[in-house]
Structure 1
Amino acid sequence: MNDDITLVLGATGNTGRRVAARLRLRETPVRTASRSSPTPFDWFHPAGWDRVLREVTTAYVVPPSVPGPVHDFVMRAEAAGMRRLVLLSGHGADDWGDSAFGRHMRSAEDAVRGSTLEWTILRPSNFDQNFDGPPFRVPLAAGELALPAGAVPEPFIDLEDVADVAATVLSEPGRHAGRVYELTGPHALTWAEAVELISRASGLPIAYRRVSPAEYTATLVQEGWSEGEAQELTEMFVLLERGVTAWTTNDVATVLGRAPRTFEDFVLRATAAKAWQR
């Protein structure tokens, strides 16, 4: 059994809770940390970081929603004796240019690359599970998903594959040092095609409608999103329409030795779980 402690930040989030569970099955000592966990962690209250970092050798980091804090966290982690860090970022970040989307992820990447830690960066595409959870499950269950996305496809990836890759990388010191893994599904689909697959498999009448970025932002604000959150999500779609994330990779297979799960497989599992039943 490995006695080194692996810290999982964002431990109640989409990837964090999955990664922590996989590490426990591998009998890896895990310290889970989030704002609501027994070991509390808040990106905006660094006074509590030293307790979280005590005796930690490896960390899985999901960056906060604003640029900057990861730089301070990395310096604190180095001083505490941490040796390795795996960072969650976004697919194709090198090609995002001056987009307003993802500045927090690019800032976090800069912090990690400039550190003395052994680092690995994971860059997944949009998650399959966005369709059976926030932010798309509710509109799909209501019968229509309206987004500012057209004919440019997206290589959606299953969260289970992202977690499998993260847990494997965290468990194999040295092997993945300095690597950037672009994690995608095996093929790309347009958002309309994804909705069509969900409608067919579930037997529910669900339509896709393309809207303008401005209309989408306004809808999100009406639904209770803050102006900043709404603009950030809209800017993601503006970026996707440039085609800079439409490409697929073999990086899941490189790490795991198997192909990634298909979007169709996700749809079948979610349909069996009645994800979109009204």
Structure 2
Amino acid sequence: MVREFTELAVRSGVRRVVLLSGRGEAGAQRAEAAVRASGAEWTVVRAAWFQQNFSEDFLVEAVRAGEVALPVGAVGEPFVDADDIADVAVAALTEEGHAGQVYEVTGPRLLTFAEAIGEIAAATGRDVAFASIGAEQYRAAMAEHGVPPEVVSMVEHLFTEVLDGRNAHLTDGVRRALGREPRDFADYARRTAATSTWNPRA
């Protein structure tokens, strides 16, 4: 799909292509190879786990409910702010000097999921707990809540394979692309808490 899209883009006159890729994922590496072979001025942005997964995706309801249960242990993850990813992509599309670059973007520090939830709790002033559960238990809970099987499979892959420690290190992609440090998780948590996104539903 990525190969067909980029080939169509180039045939249509597109000169620059930026791929949002993943860290340590075989499928992402295949997509990167397709973009490199497209003939466009390509840039790859390999992103860590988004900070916004806690507020704009499948974890937001768990945060509102006061407990986040996930099949992950004490592995560190350098959560990256999606605004940093967007800034890098915009720079790569609109500025010279980014063609042929691979920017691996992370936040400025490693946090376990328990530590990330702790920072959310501190920012909201609420009791938000984290529980590490088994993959089977998590799969059953998602199915019980009507999550489609393909989504269950994708999320289970992320937690059991990608979050196995292979990505527990920081990178300088944001600094290389933008000349500044990446946004910190604590700042994200404070900004998001101020919007009432994590307030429990009535």
Output the TM-score relative to the length of structure 1: 0.69
Give the root-mean-square deviation of aligned CA atoms. Answer: 1.3
| Aligned residue type for 2:2 | V
Aligned match for 2:185, one of 256, 259, 263 = 263
The whole-number CA distance in structure 2 between the counterparts of 1:250 and 1:210 is: 30
The alpha carbon displacement at 1:107 in A equals 3.2
The whole-number CA distance in structure 1 between the counterparts of 2:7 and 2:59 is: 37
The alpha carbon displacement at 1:147 in A equals 0.3
Instruction: Write out per-residue CA displacement over residues 217-239 of structure 1, whole angstroms, 9 at most, x where no aligned residue.
Output: 22222222111110111110112
User: Higher relative contact order at CA 8 Å, sep ≥6: structure 1 or structure 2?
Assistant: 2
The whole-number CA distance in structure 1 between the counterparts of 2:158 and 2:52 is: 17
| Aligned position for 1:79 | 11
| Aligned position for 1:205 | 127
Q: Where does the alignment leave 5 or more consecutive residues of structure 2 unmatched?
A: none
SS in 2 for 1:132: helix
The whole-number CA distance in structure 2 between the counterparts of 1:277 and 1:271 is: 8
Aligned match for 1:124, one of 17, 42, 47 = 47
| Aligned residue type for 2:56 | G
Structure 1 stretch displaced more, 112-121 or 237-246: 237-246
The alpha carbon displacement at 1:193 in A equals 0.4
Alignment partner of 1:143 is 2:59: no
Whether the 8 Å CA contact 1:152–1:240 is kept in 2: the answer is no
The whole-number CA distance in structure 1 between the counterparts of 2:52 and 2:43 is: 24
Instruction: Write out per-residue CA displacement over residues 28-54 of structure 1, whole angstroms, 9 at most, x where no aligned residue.
Output: xxxxxxxxxxxxxxxxxxxxxxxxxxx
Task: Report the structure, 1 or 2, having the larger helix content.
Answer: 2
The alpha carbon displacement at 1:242 in A equals 2.1
SS in 2 for 1:248: coil
SS in 1 for 2:171: coil
| Aligned residue type for 2:184 | T
The alpha carbon displacement at 1:110 in A equals 2.0
Structure 1 consecutive aligned stretches of length 4 or more whose deviation exceeds 4 Å: none
The whole-number CA distance in structure 2 between the counterparts of 1:110 and 1:196 is: 38
The whole-number CA distance in structure 2 between the counterparts of 1:116 and 1:253 is: 27
Which has more radius of gyration? Answer: 1
The 5 A counterparts of 1:6-25 are none
SS in 2 for 1:131: helix
| Aligned residue type for 2:117 | V
Alignment partner of 1:109 is 2:41: no
The alpha carbon displacement at 1:241 in A equals 3.7
SS in 2 for 1:182: strand
Aligned match for 1:154, one of 70, 74, 77 = 77
